[in-house]
Amino acid sequence: MLDGLRTLDCSDRLGWLAGRMLADLGAEVVKIEPPDAGVGASDWQAYNANKRLLRLDPGRPRERAALAELLAHADVLIETAAPGSPLAELFRPDALRARNPRLIQVSIRPFGADGPRANWQASDLELMAAGGIMSLAGEPDGAPMRVGAPQASLWAGAQAAVGALIALAHRGATGAGQQVAVSAQAAVLTALAHAPTFYDILGEVPTRCGEYITGRTLTGARMRAFWPCRDGHINFVLYGGVAGRRSNQQLASWMREAGAPLGAVAGIDWSTFDPKPLTQVEVDELEQPILRFFAGLTKREFLESAAAREMLGYPVSTVEDIAADPQLEVRGFWDDLRSAGEMRARHCGSFAIVNGVRAPLRHAPGEPVELEALLAEFGGAGVRAPATANAS
């Protein structure tokens, strides 16, 4: 859909996903890395698939001039240059705009472009802390937890891609590019759902509750979300209301059909079940037979039966489980690419199916492009003629 959109991705981890998303949507994305930068790590490979790689040393005047030339003909620049770095000088918005008024410059920083802490250092851990999500994950009396795979850069990259494309819509209408400024800390706030509204409306501070959910009963009783099973855990909740009714009824019939002891489950009329008045003792009593039943299931058995019964709930997957999921196979989610010097590697495919087609990834991560070739490509007639006269 973004065919011919020339995108230069000069970002570190904070911007990788932005470039990858534009590439998945059809843009021609070139990742730029210094000659000595390592590109073998799985994260680099995953988020720089579908882009070509240009090795360029911005410390050398000739290569800096070449990058400036590429920027003069680019549609989108994604950059994360730290203030004071050689690239930051090259990416001065006024200079870029003077040369290429149509350029959309996406500038991603850990804490945004300015402000009292704009120059603070942050990795994923500090950004997840600063964005609030860690305060909501972990044991109630224990330490706040982050997700074990870096997330903040992905929240930043995804928001950056949306910003770039909103700027592209504006350019389509006016011909004018502009700068889009992104804060990774603020991007993490996207992950909080409506948790901040408890503080804004009631002055309450939602916090972490481990493997349980709270706030479903008026007695303060906690209800289990994670249940041990034969090969891991299952996420299932005894919801009330319309949402829970079918799932709870189906679980009870499943247990009955399997000959499992029903205990307190037998006495519940699920069509009127309401967890709100339950005490902790009652919740525990209800959960005991379910705990025993789930303990005998595998994750795959739960996934398949729950889907067939249209029950809410999913197993807690590992990457190994995900890799074997037939749903993904049938939808052609995986894309096998051969990188230079590597065996075939299985990547996440384009993130959307458009008009029934998932666009195949066009470039293996690290597929090289030479500077001269790219200059010739960019210097040639633009695929994207301006819709209106430049507003410069």
Partner 1 sequence: MTTGAQALAGVKVVEFGAYAAGPHVGKLLANFGARVVHVESRRRPDGFRLEYPPFKDRVPGVDRGGCFAHFNDSKYGVTLDLHAGTGRELAQRLLTWADIVVENMRPGVMRRLGLDYEVARSVNPGVVMLSSCNMGQTGPRANTPGFGSQLSSLAGFCGLTGRPDGPPMLLYGPYIDFIASTMGAAAVLAALDQRRRTGSGAWIDLSQYETGLHFVAGALLDYHRNGTVAARQGNRDEEAAPHEVYRCEGGRWLALSCWSDAEFGRLARAIGRPDLAADPRFATGAQRRAHAAELDRAIVPWCAAQDAERAATILQEARVHAYPVNTMADLFRDPQLVHRHVWRRRHHRVMGERAYCFPAFDLLDTPGEITSAAPLLGADNETVFREFLGLSAAEYEACQARGAFQ
Looking at residues 232 to 291 of the shown chain, list those that interact with partner 1 (rule: CB under 8 A).
232-233, 235-237, 241, 243
Pairing of strands 28-33, 52-55: parallel
* 187 contacts partner 1 (rule: CB under 8 A): yes
- Which residues, numbered 85-114, are part of the site for partner 1 (CB under 8 A)? 93, 111-112, 114
How many Å apart are CA 14 and CA 126, to the nearest integer?
13
We find the least distance from the C-beta atom of residue 181 to partner 1, in angstroms, to be: 6
We find the least distance from the C-beta atom of residue 5 to partner 1, in angstroms, to be: 8
> Looking at 30, 180, 223, 374, which residue binds partner 1 (CB under 8 A)?
180
**Over the range 222-252, which residues count as b (16 or more CB within 10 Å of their CB) and which as e?**
bbbbbbebeeebbbbbbbbeeebebbbbbbb
Q: Quick one: 83 or 172, whose CB is closer to partner 1?
A: 172
* Closest to 286 measured CA to CA, from 326, 85, 277: 277
> Looking at 205, 281, 295, 340, which residue binds partner 1 (CB under 8 A)?
205
* Closest to 164 measured CA to CA, from 19, 351, 52: 19
* # residues near partner 1 by CB under 8 A: 152
Q: Which residue has the tokens 């989610």?
A: 333
> Looking at 158, 221, 252, 361, which residue binds partner 1 (CB under 8 A)?
158
How many Å apart are CA 314 and CA 153, to the nearest integer?
27
* 215 contacts partner 1 (rule: CB under 8 A): yes
Phi and psi angles of residue 47, each rounded to the nearest 5 degrees, phi first: -90, -5
- Which residues, numbered 341-370, are part of the site for partner 1 (CB under 8 A)? 342-343, 345-348, 351-356
- CA dihedral of 133, 136, 138, 140, whole degrees rounded to 10: 160
* 175 contacts partner 1 (rule: CB under 8 A): no
Stretch that binds partner 1, among 77-85, 202-210, 251-259, 272-280 (CB under 8 A): 202-210
Neighbours of 194 (CB within 10 A): 9
Q: Quick one: 54 or 165, whose CB is closer to partner 1?
A: 165
Q: Quick one: 66 or 76, whose CB is closer to partner 1?
A: 76
